[in-house]
Amino acid sequence: MIEEKTILEQPEKKAETIKPLGELLVTLMSITPQAEQVIEQACRTCYLSFHRFNPPASTEELIKKILKKGHHSVLEHAHATFRIKGGSRVFTHELIRHRLISPSQESQRYVQYGKTRPFDYVVPPSVAQTPFAERFKELASETQQFYEEMVKGGVPKEDARYILPNATTSEIVITANFREFRHLFTVRCTPFAHWEIRKVCIEMLKIMKKEAPISFYDFVVNEENNTATILPPEESKG
Ligand SMILES: Cc1cc2nc3c(=O)[nH]c(=O)nc-3n(C[C@H](O)[C@H](O)[C@H](O)COP(=O)(O)OP(=O)(O)OC[C@H]3O[C@@H](n4cnc5c(N)ncnc54)[C@H](O)[C@@H]3O)c2cc1C
């Protein structure tokens, strides 16, 4: 019997998985307990081959086999939940395009910048090191002041927010199954993905590689350029 527990109830484990990324913070809130054994047992139901359940060896062998064969639906039996703080609305908009991710995001209808929480924004690295950085910050600050002026003047937050920049940070919690995380990492950890979503996805991938090492074993992280690639099945034997 697999014990029903989440990482939220294990503070020492949760602390391990918090990774500050400059101003970004990616936290694993919860993951299916004994996720890879759940996947194995679900998969073994197809063949009623429970007599072969002998972890960790049988788990590794079976999950690697199903990854190679493309029998990925069994990965849907395991889920993970992440909290991401300090990412921009640019990033969250890209993230929520992934339809199989369940998001809960702070609402600009209910949250009041300067009151519920401070106004905060992301300066992209390509701007931060240039003479444009100062003007970027000035405009962000002016925008914030005008937002506050409008709210004080009676404009509802839900309408005053129209003036806020894409750079505004937005807290989000996402839940997805392992199959969707593999898809997310495949398309968002490549050099073609935008730097911010790539940065968050690489961090989530590193955590998932630690928490579910077999299910994500074929993703190779390149620390130098902050990307990850997925090995083709013929190269990922093992
Ligand atoms: C580098 C890059 C550049 C991009 N540029 C743009 C852009 O310029 N403009 C733009 O609008 N978007 C852009 N996108 C977003 C992209 O078009 C997708 O909306 C986003 O990546 C979600 O991908 P997805 O639909 O494969 O995945 P998800 O929504 O996460 O779905 C996962 C998988 O489930 C299956 N699935 C989900 N829903 C359905 C469905 N309704 N029917 C059938 N199968 C389904 C598919 O196999 C899908 O791959 C870009 C994405 C990337 C990675």
Whether residue 133 is predicted with pLDDT greater than 80 in this model: the reply is yes
Per DSSP, which regions of 86-230 are E strands? 102-105, 172-177, 219-222, 227-230
| Cα(151)–Cα(142) distance, integer angstroms | 14
Pocket flag, ligand 1, residue 47 (CB < 6 Å): no
Pocket flag, ligand 1, residue 19 (CB < 6 Å): no
Provide φ and ψ at 30, rounded to 5°: -160, 150
CB 105 within 8 A of CB 168: no
Condensed to tens digits (0 to 9), the pLDDT of residues 69-92 reads 999 999 999 999 999 999 999 999
Which range (9-18, 96-105, 147-156) has the least confidence?
9-18
**Distance from the CA of 73 to the center of ligand 1, in angstroms?**
18
Provide φ and ψ at 104, rounded to 5°: -130, 115
Condensed to tens digits (0 to 9), the pLDDT of residues 134-149 reads 999 999 999 999 999 9
Pocket flag, ligand 1, residue 128 (CB < 6 Å): no
Provide φ and ψ at 71, rounded to 5°: -85, 60
Confidence of residue 29 (pLDDT cuts 50, 70, 90): very high
Query: What is the arithmetic mean of pLDDT over 26-41?
Result: 98
The conformation of residue 170, written as its DSSP 8-state character, comes to -
Q: What is the pLDDT of residue 236?
A: 54
CA separation, residue 108 to residues 15, 141, 162 (Å): 29, 17, 10
CB 54 within 8 A of CB 62: no
Q: Where are the alpha helices (DSSP H) in the chain?
A: 11-16, 35-47, 57-69, 89-95, 125-128, 132-152, 157-160, 178-188, 195-211
Return the number of other C-beta atoms located less than 10 Å from residue 219's C-beta: 21
Confidence of residue 7 (pLDDT cuts 50, 70, 90): very low
Pocket flag, ligand 1, residue 179 (CB < 6 Å): no
Q: What is the pLDDT of residue 8?
A: 46
End-to-end alpha carbon distance in the chain? 28
Spatial CA neighbour of 45 closest among 62, 60, 20: 62
Whole-structure pTM value: 0.90
Q: Which atom of ligand 1 is nearest to the CA of 193?
A: 1
Query: Annotated catalytic, 117?
Result: no
More confident residue, 69 or 234: 69
Q: What is the pLDDT of residue 151?
A: 97
Q: If you take atom 30 of ligand 1, which residue's CA is the nearest one?
A: 98
Confidence of residue 23 (pLDDT cuts 50, 70, 90): confident
Of 90, 92, 97, best ligand 1 pocket probe by most atoms within 8 Å of the beta carbon: 97
Condensed to tens digits (0 to 9), the pLDDT of residues 101-115 reads 999 999 999 999 999
Q: If you take atom 4 of ligand 1, which residue's CA is the nearest one?
A: 193
Q: What is the percent of the chain where pLDDT is above 90?
A: 86
7-105+170-235: what CATH class? alpha beta
Q: If you take atom 15 of ligand 1, which residue's CA is the nearest one?
A: 97
Confidence of residue 232 (pLDDT cuts 50, 70, 90): confident
Pocket flag, ligand 1, residue 99 (CB < 6 Å): yes
More confident residue, 197 or 14: 197
**Distance from the CA of 48 to the center of ligand 1, in angstroms?**
35
Q: If you take atom 7 of ligand 1, which residue's CA is the nearest one?
A: 94
Of 96, 187, 192, best ligand 1 pocket probe by most atoms within 8 Å of the beta carbon: 187
Whether residue 9 is predicted with pLDDT greater than 90 in this model: the reply is no
Spatial CA neighbour of 92 closest among 202, 143, 163, 166: 166
| Cα(27)–Cα(39) distance, integer angstroms | 23
Q: What is the pLDDT of residue 12?
A: 41
Whether residue 18 is predicted with pLDDT greater than 50 in this model: the reply is no
